[in-house]
Amino acid sequence: MQQLSRCLHKRPSSYLPSPSFVYRGARCDRIAVPLLHKRRGSTKPAYDGHVPLNWFENAFLAVGSAVMALRDPRRGDMIAALGETTAGPSLPRLREIMLSDTEGRKILKDRPRVNSETIDMNQLAQYPEGTFGRAYVTWLERCGVTPDTREPVHYIDDPELAYVMQRYRECHDFYHCICNLPVNVESELALKYFEFANLGLPMTAISAIFGPLRLTPKKRERLFSEFVPWALKCGGSAKSLITVYWEQRWDQNVDDIKKELGIWDPPEARWSKPLSEAKAAAAYRQQNSQIELGKD
């Protein structure tokens, strides 16, 4: 496993090793031993980036990605692979939930994507305080993240189900924002409990079970005594967030959205940047955007 870890770390973060091989010895880039028979010629990718897997390959990748993700939670590619290989019947169930909802059906029809090319941050900064668009920009500034950190889906065969997984993945930061949670280990775990109660994805349960092992006893005690009860109760009673067309709610009041979805704030979380600084950064973005518009 140590050799496998070194091999994976030699690759760029977007690279996912073929589950048809295990690597032996220090020269892992030159020596590979096939584990399985070659795929039949009739197995073709169903969409760009799709990697078809048989049941053994899926299981092999699920176990390997789980081990790697637990050893290094920063490995977004391993966490993504774990989510896809363990999804099982949860994705068809989420698709049915979307199909039963007017907003969810529109999402499946439009298939919107969330990244810096599809979302104009400067435009969102123009929205008034209290709107979801302004709150999202402020959250990004406060956490120091961008919408471009989500891995593409590779291992789900059905193209529509692959989009459902991609939609969940790209909306994860919206869930952070609407739940008023920062990006740190304890807040991520609290949100994983929320997502499991709300969406039922197995990967969120795996993270919720094993993730707390990385916390200090004090943080673990607060997670289970304060955040987990909120997450299970709020996530279990709230509307399924997979059906929310967030991009069409930029101008809606955040408190109104929370009331509509049945969401209330969690216990006070630990933020690395004061809210005042994030609001100032969002206001600065707004002013610069207005200047640029004036020049045009």
Q: Whose CA is closest to 16, among 57, 56, 46, 55?
A: 57
269: left (phi over 0), alpha (psi -120 to 50) or beta: beta
Those residues with Cβ within 8 angstroms of residue 290's Cβ, 6 or more apart along the chain or in another chain: 126
Phi and psi torsions of 212, nearest 5°: -60, -15
Q: Rounded CA gap, 122 and 108, in Å? A: 27
Give me 81's structure tokens. 């692979």
What are the binding residues for Zn(2+)? 172-173, 176, 188
Give me 48's structure tokens. 């760009």
Within 13 Å and on the Cβ side, how many CA atoms surround 279? 7
Q: Measure Cα distances from 185 to 147, 188, 213, 275 in Å.
A: 19, 5, 11, 19
CB 235 within 8 A of CB 195: yes
What are the binding residues? 172-173, 176, 188
- Per residue in 182-198, is it b (16+ CB within 10 Å) or e — as a string? bbeebbbbbbbbbbbbb
CB 197 within 8 A of CB 236: yes
Q: Rounded CA gap, 7 and 25, in Å? A: 10
Q: Whose CA is closest to 113, among 138, 150, 78, 157?
A: 150
